[in-house]
Structure 1
């Protein structure tokens, strides 16, 4: 029984140009038709003779079966490939094999999308910041079909054995992946490769994310890695969270640990803001309101003095005089500026000297918020000074990776499944974008 579309008695006529546009080895285009949403292409292989898979006897063509799959979309919309598969029959009566169909690595049995379409969808998710539903519409399938084809491709790319090779610096930070919904762990611990290459650039690769924010989460991940991986780490960065520091001390005690400069400066901003709120409450009896002097400059107080224009500096000075009768906010702001200037030191020796001067200055400061900041600085003294010994290593790269993750979450309008979320962000933040070719080569 033959397919009326492809009469077996007729000699097939193939077009090399059309086959080149299709771009599939061993497949030939027999006909093309337009549909309501795109294009349908009828294809067949050039296999005209084969032997029985069991006895080797030359088989005879039994009939054809149509297998329709979605392929990479074209300029006219979704593309459907209809493969007219040959069904072969063994004519040897003693052979236990009756019939079988031809196969292809490009179109797998019972697949709804071609292998090429799965690779295309995975590339778009990894490199082009799109969501699955948008790709499903372009492929002419539903969300589940699109994700089922892309998921194994992304999983293969993110679980390669050499993915953790060459890591010499490791950053860690928390990440909130769910702001609403079930009471599951909403905060994740993310590990990022912040190693520098031969040219001084940073790799910026997300290595893994795990549910929860605690020392044991980070420690167990480090413990699960190979001894060679742990031995290759030279320095680590973190925020002022003692749990992560305990994990580093337990598994990476040989490394230099750096407290991230951004988070240290942020502690200074919090000290100024807490002082402003306390003074605001004491002088007015309520929280800040838009017409009150201290509330008007709450954002300006977070800026570095070196970035202020004369007009802005004059405004800050006037508002502080009007709303800060005991100069508490003014003193706290001056301490914050001293903290910023410490990280602007031109040499490591000068940086350490500025830190010691900072500790002396804070020790004599009467502001309770500054005293609290001093306690934190003294507890993290070694990790803060390590910043100057490592040429300014920080968690800035980790925050950049976190921005990529946030963009993925926003584009997808949130995630409900952690495993899918983990796979998506590992693919997006793998550092592969910078290696994409941008020119045509023969």
Structure 2
């Protein structure tokens, strides 16, 4: 006698049964610290993706909605990133604005506070407005990249906070100015883009290195390229200006760094090289946020960039996301944004 069992009942019951609290706690820990995937964990637990996520998701949602996550934030960073590369009409805006807690001491590392759709001052302003007066009054320092939209939101919602322009992006602006000058002079002198054997093309990577790190051979290469044509002096001047800008953040005392920064803000806008003059005007427009670096013990947006790196890694491990809510919860989890909530402790 042969017994037949309807498909989808006895053989699949074990795949859809509720998981124990211990199993959910283990799965959340694996997602948080080990770079695991839902599919991989479901396979180890002998269940399905939907079953595991349907029981992990409520825990993460409850933790994400816990207002205690936002307590104690004194240094707030903001940055943008892309969460997908599909048609925005099908999956919504590509750009997200991320807020990061950079407060030292309360947590061992920077932690993601939230992700909201859009890259605009309005997105950041609305998020700050939703946090309430108590949250905004506790924020003492707000760091950002040179994006005016975020600056407007900080001026509007965080009136008592000190706005600090990120040091890395200031140096990056100097390097970009050198590249722009090099490309322009390359076209003016040779009439084509950089090719192997061209003097300026050959030093394109050396121009991005700090001058104190150059080997004697690299210094010789720079000197030879600068002397190869009279018009190359513009590249040399741009390089020296960019290095002076970099040296601002390597002075022995904040006072000396601030003094050098003020000198550059005054001199660069009048430079006859248009790219350097544009750099100087940008620094002059951001003068207050630039100089605030020296009054805040070197506050920067570095922690925010580190969190962005973890987000990129998480998205890569998951092979991308289709659902923004899932993406939001998973990124909050892996970047420590839910660690402060008792709900994830189970």
Give the TM-score normalised by structure 2: 0.89
- The question of 1:205 aligning with 2:111 is answered yes
Task: Give secondary structure in 2 for the equivalent of 1:163.
Answer: helix
Measured after TM superposition, the shift of residue 246 of structure 1 is 0.7
Match of 2:285 in 1: 379
Q: d(CA) in 2 for partners of 1:220 and 1:272?
A: 37
Match of 1:315 in 2: 221
Measured after TM superposition, the shift of residue 232 of structure 1 is 0.4
Match of 1:147 in 2: 53
Match of 2:20 in 1: 114
- The question of 1:294 aligning with 2:200 is answered yes
- The question of 1:249 aligning with 2:155 is answered yes
Match of 1:123 in 2: 29
Q: d(CA) in 2 for partners of 1:238 and 1:182?
A: 26
Q: d(CA) in 1 for partners of 2:338 and 2:114?
A: 15
Q: d(CA) in 1 for partners of 2:192 and 2:99?
A: 42
Q: d(CA) in 1 for partners of 2:235 and 2:125?
A: 40
Q: d(CA) in 2 for partners of 1:296 and 1:181?
A: 39
Residues 1:286 and 1:325: Cα distance change in structure 2 (over 3 Å): same
Match of 1:325 in 2: 231
- The question of 1:216 aligning with 2:122 is answered yes
Measured after TM superposition, the shift of residue 418 of structure 1 is 0.9
Any residues of structure 2 matched to 1:225-240 within 5 Å, and which? 225-240=131-146
Match of 1:91 in 2: none
Structure with greater proportional helix content? 2
Measured after TM superposition, the shift of residue 280 of structure 1 is 1.2
Contact kept in structure 2, 1:194 and 1:202, CA below 8 Å: no
- The question of 1:426 aligning with 2:332 is answered yes
Relative contact order higher in (CA < 8 Å, ≥ 6 apart): 2
Unmatched 5+ stretches in structure 1: 1-64, 71-109, 435-442
Residues 1:219 and 1:425: Cα distance change in structure 2 (over 3 Å): same
Q: d(CA) in 1 for partners of 2:279 and 2:196?
A: 28
Q: d(CA) in 2 for partners of 1:191 and 1:324?
A: 48
Unmatched 5+ stretches in structure 2: 1-9, 341-346
Higher CA-based Rg? 1
- The question of 1:196 aligning with 2:120 is answered no
| RMSD value, Cα | 2.3
Contact kept in structure 2, 1:324 and 1:330, CA below 8 Å: no
Between Structure 1 and Structure 2, how many residues are aligned?
329
Q: d(CA) in 2 for partners of 1:357 and 1:66?
A: 76
Contact kept in structure 2, 1:69 and 1:113, CA below 8 Å: no
The equivalent position to 1:343 in structure 2, one of 238, 249, 260, is 249
Residues 1:288 and 1:180: Cα distance change in structure 2 (over 3 Å): farther
Structure with greater proportional strand content? 1
